[in-house]
Amino acid sequence: MKRINVFSVELIRDKAALYDIESKKVTSPDAAYRAIEEIFSLSSKPNEHFGMFSLNTKNEIIGAHLIFSGSVNSSVVHPREVFQRALLNNATSVVVFHNHPSGDPGPSREDLDVTRRLQEAGKVLGIELLDHIIIGDGRHYSLKSKGHMN
């Protein structure tokens, strides 16, 4: 006989809070940006942070996650960290986001590569990556609306 470990996974809510946002729906890059700023205040962070919203079939936020905090100019995220949270939230889609402490929200080559990898992983799992929003100094850049996503 061989011993096999049996595990269970459960989602535990860190907190629930009321936020002054018009809607829990993410209907546009502007709506996503407003929710990101209200919940995480990324434009004021001195280091790069990467997060995500898990969304249901109505594009309502059902989970808000700050996944990674990096250095002044980089944050490394793997699809595993993003989609683990999405699966635990029973999300049908996600919006990912991060800030550029330099203030310039334009995407780097690494930003485009991460977005491509997340899109590919999401397709395999059946969880659509709706957008990748980059936050700068009071501005934002939507990779979807600028044509960087399929």
Residue with the two structure tokens 């860190």 = 14
Q: Where are the domains of the chain?
A: 29-142
- Two tokens, residue 120: 């590919």
Determine the Cα–Cα distance for residues 69 and 99; give it in Å rounded to an integer. Answer: 10
Please name the CATH architecture into which domain 29-142 falls.
3-Layer(aba) Sandwich (3.40)
User: Whose CA is closest to 38, among 71, 11, 61?
Assistant: 61
Write out the chain's pLDDT in tens, 150 residues: 878 877 767 777 777 777 766 678 999 999 999 999 999 999 989 999 999 999 999 999 999 999 988 775 656 789 999 999 999 999 999 999 999 999 999 999 999 999 999 999 999 999 999 999 999 998 999 999 999 998
